[in-house]
Amino acid sequence: MKLKSFALAAVITGLGIGTVHADDLRIGLSTPLSGGVAALGQHEKWGAELAIEELNVAGESGGHTFALDAQDNQCNPSQGVTSVENLLRNDPVAIIGALCSSVTLAIMPMVEREKVPLVVAVSTSKVITEKSGTGGNDWTFRINPSDVGLAVAMANYIASTGNIDTVAFVGEDTDYGRGGHEAIAAALEAKGVEVVSADFFQQNTPDFTTLLTRLANTAPDAIALYAVGADELNFLRQFRGMGLPSHLTGRIAFDEIRDTVIASGAIDGATSVFPYAADLDTPENRAFVEAFEEKYGELPNYQSFEAYEAVKIIANAIERAGSTERTAIRDALKKTEYTSLTGRTVAFDENNQAHNAAIIMRVDGTEVVIEAQSDT
Amino acid sequence: MMARTMNGSRAAGPLSPDLRWFLCVALLAIAPTLTGSSYMLNVGSLALAFAVLATSLNLVFGFTGLLSFAQVGFWGVGAYVAAIATADYGVSPWLAFLMGGVFTGVLAILVGIPALRVSRASFVIVSLSFTLLATLLSRSWIDVTRGPLGIPGLPAPSIALGDRVLLDGHEPLAFYCIMLGFAVLALGFMFALVRSSIGRILLATNQNEALARSQGINVKHYQLLAFSVAAAFSGMTGGLYIFHLGIVDPSIFDTYYSEMLLIIVILGGAGNFWTVIVAAFVLTAVPELLRFDPELRLVMFGAVLVTAALVLPDGFGGYLRDANLKRWRKEVRP
Amino acid sequence: MTGLFISQLVLNGVVIGLTYALIAVGLSLIFGVMEIVNFAHGQVYMLGATAMLTCVTVLGLGYFPAVLLATLVVAVTGLLLYVTVLRHLQQGEFERGIILTIGIGMVLQNGITYLFGAQPRVVDTEFSFIYLNMNGLRIDLMRLLTIGLSAVAMGGLYVLLQHSRIGKAMRAFAQNREAAFMVGIRPAVIAGTAVSLGIGLAGLAGASLAPVFTVHPAMGIPILFKAFAIVIIGGLGHIPGAVLAAVLIGVTESVVGGFGPVALQDAVAFLAMIAILMARPEGLFGKGVRV
C-alpha cells in the first residue's frame, strides 16, 4: 500500500502537479531517484521535504514559504547536468546536490556559470573542497565532512585503540572507494599504521568469498570497508561465514543494515566513522528522528540528516541576507553560523567547507553505540 | 531491395523523397532554436548526438547487417581521448574531438578483424565485450583515465578573435549550433556513403553474403570499412558531446545509451536512413517532455522494443515503405 | 596453512563455478535448441531471486518449498515468454532474437524496480547463518544447499535429454529442424519446453542464491556477462561443455583472486573468452551445436 501511494506520489511530482504556489521560494535538489542508489536519494529527498514542511509551518525565514523541486540524476554525470538544467528552469534560490561526487563535480561549473548557490550535502570527494571557495568555485558550499576529514577522524580512532598496526582496505571501485582509500592511506600512514593491501571491487559484485579467503590468510589487524548498498550487505553477510579474525571498520552505513546484518549479530564489535548516526543523543536530533520516523516510517540516515540541514542552512542564509537575490544568498551563506543537530556549529572555511563532527560508532552485540565524536 | 528502389524512383511530387525527408529533419533540427529555451536546446543537442550515433549503428546494423554493441564503446573511448587530449595535453576541443574520431576509427579496424573472423554471432559477442572491456579500463586504468572520478572541468569549444568571443560553447544555443554543424557534416557523409556504390555493395552483402562473394566482392573489407566509419563518427560524437557535459567518467559507457540506440534504430527502421534520424529526435524529446517516472519510461521502452521487433520488423521506415508501395500499386492499377 | 589456503580457494571456486553452471546451462540449452542468445537471462535469474524473496518474506514459506515455488513461477514465465514473444522467431533470425530478449530484459528489470524499489533486500531462511567448518575448510550451509540443488537439476537435465522422448526430440530438433519436423516432432512443443527449462534453471539459480547474496533488480547483469563468456568457452549450445567451463572459470577466478587483485579476478572470464575466440572459435569442447 505504501508502495503504491509512493509510486503515485512519484508520478504526480513527475508530472509537476505538486502543491507549489507561485510565490514559493524554490530549493532545487538533484539526487538519484532511480538506479542503484535510489534508496539513498529518496532519503535525501525526505530529509529536505521535512525541513521545508517545518519552515513553512513555523513561518520563520522572514515570512517566506518554500517548495522543493527534486530532479533525478541517476548518479550519472550526464543525467546530473540534465537534472540541473531542469532545476534552473524554475529559477531556484539555491540547489542541493548531487549525492554522488562525480555528479557534483559535473554540475559545479554549471552553478558557477548560472550564479546559483550549490549546497553539497552528501558527496565526500576531496576534489570538491579543493575546487571550491576563494579563488575557485565561489558558489559551491559543502556542509558534510570530506573524505579527508573523515579519514583523519578514523585514523585517529584506529591509532588510539593501540592494537591495530596493519589495515587492509576494501572499497568499491568508484569515486567513493578510490577517494576514501587515498584519504585513509595518507591519514593512517601519518599515524604509523600500515595499509597492507587495497582491493577495489566492481559495484554489484555478489561474491566476496575469494577476497575474504585471501584476507583471512593474510590476517590484517583490521579491514577498512568502503562500500554502500547491496555490495556492503553482501560483504558483511559473507564476512562472518569466512571466520576472519580481523577487526571490521571503515565507513559502514550502520543505519542501512540495522535490521539485517547488525540484528543477526554477525558483525559484533565492528566500528564505523560516519557523519551522522540516528542514535545521536541531543534534544534537537531526538526531535528530528521522531518527526522523521512519524512521517516516513523509517529512521533518518546520513542522507536525510544532511539534506534536512542543507535546507535549514539555506533558509537561514536567506533570512540573514534579507533578500532572495542569489548573490546576496551566497554572501550570507559564506557567513553561516548554524547550530547543527550534532550540537556543533556549521561554518565555512576559505574553501567553503564546513567542519561538522565525525561520529564513531561501534556495534555492541546487536546494538549500535556511539563511541566518540571527533573533529573533521 | 526491390521496394527501396521503387520507392526511390517514384516521382509523385516535385520533390524527391530524400529531399522531402531532408526538409522534415531540417524542421525538427530548427525547432529547438525557435523555442529559445535553453532546456529545449540542451535536449536538442542530445537528440543530435543520438541521431549521429544511431545513424552510425544503422550503417553497421541496418545496412551491413552486423549487430554491434560497440557503438557506445566507441562513443565513450572517443570521449575519453578528447578529454585526455584537452586536459593533459592542452589540445583545443576542436582538434581533440577529431582526434577521438580518428582514434576510434583505427581502433575499430583492430577490433573488427578478429570480430569478423568467425560468425555474426561472435561479432555480437566481441562487440559487446569491447564495450565492457572499455568500461573496465576506464575504471581501472587510473593513471590515464583517472578512474571512477572521471575528468571534470573540461572546456567548451569556443571561437575567440583576440579578446572578442564569437562563439561560446557554454551557451546552450552556441553548443546546439556546433552540434548541428557537426551532425550535418557527419550525417551528410554517411548519407553519401550509403547512396554510393559502396553502400549498394553493403546492402547486397547484407541480403546475400554468399552471392556477393561469388561476384568477387571482398565482403570483409566492406564490412570493416563500414564498421570503421561508424566507429569514427561515434567517437567524434562522444568527443564533442563531452565538452557539453564538462566531465567524462565511466558512466559514459552506461547500458542506457546502448538500449536507447537500439530502440531508435529498431523503431526507426534498420536500413532506413531518414526515419532513424527522425526516431532519434522523437525518442529523445518525448520522454523528456512527458517527464515519466524513469523506471516506467524504461519499462515502456522495453515494451516498445519488443512490440516493434514483433509487429514492425522493419520499423517505422519499413511501415512507410510498405504503405507507399501499396499506394503505388493502387495507382498503377487501372 | 598454505595447503589449507589453496584448498579453501579451490573449494570456493568449485562452489561458485557450479552456480555459474546453473545459469550457463540454461543459456546454452536455449541457444542450442532455438539459436537465441537470451539477453534476458540475467533478469530471469533476478526474477527467481525476487520470487524467492516474496515466497519467504510474504508467504512465509520454508527454504525448500520456497525454492520450488519460485522456480516454478519463473519456468511458467519462461513458457509465457515463449508463447507470446519468442515463438514468432524464425530460424536464422539471430539478431532479432537478441533485440527481443533485450526488450524483455528491460521490461523485467525496470518493472521489478518500479514495483519493489531498487534497494537491496536480504532473504533469511531457517538455514541462514549456519557455517560448516571441516578441519579449517569453511563453507556456508546455504551454498552447500545451492550446489546440491544445482547438481540435482543438472543430473535431471542430463537424464531428460538422454533418455526421455522429449529430450531426444530436443536433441534432434537442435541438430536439424526441418528433418525433425518431417519425422513428426512438433517444433512449438520442443522449443517451448526448452525455453521454459532453460529459463526455469536460471530461476532456480536465482531462488537458491537469493539467501546467499542480496536481492536487487540489477543483480543479474554481472552474472549474465559471465555466463556469456562461459557458454562461448564451453562451445555455444554444448551443455556438458558449459558445465565444465563454468567450474573451470570458477576455480581459476578464485585462485587468481587469492593471489592477485580483484580487478584481475573479474577479468578472468573475459580474457579466457577472448583467447578462445581467437584460438578455438568453436569452444573448448568440440564443434557445433550439441545439446
Radius of gyration of chain C (CA): 19
Nearest by CB to residue A178, choosing from B42, B136, B149, is B149
| DSSP per-residue letters across B23-51 | HHHHHHHHHHHHH--HHHHHHHHHHHHHH
Residues C89-132 have pLDDT tens digits of 887 788 889 999 999 999 999 899 888 877 788 888 888 778 88
Measured between CB atoms, does A120 come within 8 Å of chain B?
no
Radius of gyration of chain B (CA): 20
Residues A113-166 have pLDDT tens digits of 889 999 999 998 888 998 898 888 999 999 999 888 888 898 988 888 888 999
Model confidence at A95: pLDDT above 90: yes
Nearest by CB to residue A173, choosing from B148, B170, B254, is B148
- Bridge partners, A30 (sequence order): A71, A97
Q: Measuring CA to CA, which residue among B76, B45, B72 is closest to residue B285?
A: B45
Residues A50-71 have pLDDT tens digits of 999 999 987 655 678 899 999 9
Which residues 68-127 in chain B show a CB within 8 A of chain A?
Answer: none
CB distance A267 to A363 below 8 Å:
yes
pLDDT number for residue B7: 43
Q: Burial letters for C194-215: b for 16+ Cβ neighbours within 10 Å, e otherwise?
A: bbbbbbbbbbbbbbbbbbbbbb
Model confidence at C218: pLDDT above 50: yes
Model confidence at C1: pLDDT above 70: no
Structure-model confidence comparison of residues B256 and C69, the more confident one = C69
Nearest by CB to residue C262, choosing from A3, A211, A229, is A211
CB distance B285 to B35 below 8 Å:
no
Model confidence at C70: pLDDT above 90: yes
pLDDT number for residue A125: 87
pLDDT number for residue C289: 46
Q: Burial letters for A331-368: b for 16+ Cβ neighbours within 10 Å, e otherwise?
A: bbbbebebebbbebebebeebbbbbbbbbbbbbeeeeb
- Give C287's DSSP letter: S
pLDDT number for residue A75: 85
Residues A171-213 have pLDDT tens digits of 988 888 888 899 999 999 999 999 999 999 888 888 898 899 8
Nearest-angstrom CA–CA distance, C60 and A317: 52
Nearest-angstrom CA–CA distance, B8 and C208: 57
CB distance A187 to A376 below 8 Å:
no
Least confident window among A7-11, A92-96, A293-297, B244-248: A7-11
Per-residue pLDDT tens, chain B, 334 aa: give them.
344 444 444 444 566 778 878 887 787 778 777 777 777 888 888 899 999 999 999 999 988 888 999 999 999 999 999 999 999 998 999 999 999 999 999 999 999 988 887 777 778 888 988 998 899 889 888 888 888 778 887 888 888 777 777 778 778 888 888 999 999 999 999 999 988 888 888 888 887 777 777 777 788 888 899 999 999 999 999 999 999 888 888 888 988 888 889 999 998 888 888 889 999 988 888 777 666 676 788 888 899 889 888 888 777 777 887 888 888 888 777 5
In sequence order, the 6+-apart residues with CB closer than 8 A to the CB of A368 are A254, A258, A262, A277, A279, A361, A362
Write phi, then psi, for C160 (nearest 5 degrees): -60, -50
Other Cβ atoms less than 10 A from the Cβ of C132: the count is: 12
User: Under an 8 A CB cutoff, do A241 and C131 touch?
Assistant: yes
Q: Quick one: cell of C175?
A: 541438430
Q: Which stretch of DSSP H or E encloses residue A237?
A: helix A229-241
Query: Mean of the pLDDT values across residues A228-255?
Result: 85
Q: What does the CA dihedral B82, B87, B88, B89 come to, rounded to 10 degrees?
A: 70
With an 8 Å Cβ cutoff, the interface of chain C facing chain A consists of 1, 5, 8-9, 12-13, 15-16, 113-120, 122, 124, 129, 131, 133, 138, 140, 209, 212-214, 216, 218-219, 221-223, 253-254, 257-259, 261-263, 265-266
Nearest by CB to residue C257, choosing from A38, A202, A210, is A210
With an 8 Å Cβ cutoff, the interface of chain B facing chain C consists of 61, 65, 67, 114, 117-122, 124-126, 128-129, 132-133, 136, 140, 255, 259, 262, 266, 293, 295-296, 298-299, 301-306, 309-310, 313
Which residues 143-162 in chain B show a CB within 8 A of chain A?
Answer: 147-150, 152-153
Nearest by CB to residue B249, choosing from A14, A16, A102, is A102
**Banded model confidence at residue C249, pLDDT cuts 50, 70, 90:** very high
CA of residue C21 relative to chain centroid, distance: 6
- Bridge partners, A367 (sequence order): A364
Measured between CB atoms, does A178 come within 8 Å of chain B?
yes
Long-range Cβ pairs for the range A51-58 (8 Å, 24+): A51/A307, A51/A308, A51/A309, A51/A310, A51/A311, A51/A312, A51/A315, A52/A27, A52/A311, A54/A291, A55/A311, A55/A312, A55/A315
Nearest-angstrom CA–CA distance, C97 and C76: 20
Q: Quick one: cell of A137?
A: 568555485
Other Cβ atoms less than 10 A from the Cβ of B113: the count is: 12
**Banded model confidence at residue A14, pLDDT cuts 50, 70, 90:** very low
Query: Mean of the pLDDT values across residues C24-41?
Result: 90
CB distance A314 to A27 below 8 Å:
yes
**Banded model confidence at residue A6, pLDDT cuts 50, 70, 90:** very low
CB distance A355 to A149 below 8 Å:
yes
pLDDT number for residue A197: 92
**Banded model confidence at residue C286, pLDDT cuts 50, 70, 90:** low
Nearest-angstrom CA–CA distance, C252 and C233: 13
Q: Which of chain B's residues have a Cβ under 8 Å away from the Cβ of C266?
A: 136
Measured between CB atoms, does A109 come within 8 Å of chain B?
yes
Pairing of strands B164-168, A367-374: unpaired
- Give A67's DSSP letter: E
CA of residue A368 relative to chain centroid, distance: 19
Nearest-angstrom CA–CA distance, A120 and C208: 42
**Banded model confidence at residue C287, pLDDT cuts 50, 70, 90:** low
Touching chains, B (3+ CB pairs < 8 A)? A, C
Residues A293-304 have pLDDT tens digits of 999 998 899 999
Nearest-angstrom CA–CA distance, A172 and B224: 38
Write phi, then psi, for B138 (nearest 5 degrees): -60, -30
Model confidence at A5: pLDDT above 60: no
Give the B:C interface size as CB pairs under 8 Å. 95
Q: Which of chain A's residues have a Cβ under 8 Å away from the Cβ of C115?
A: 3
Q: Which amino acid is at B283?
A: L
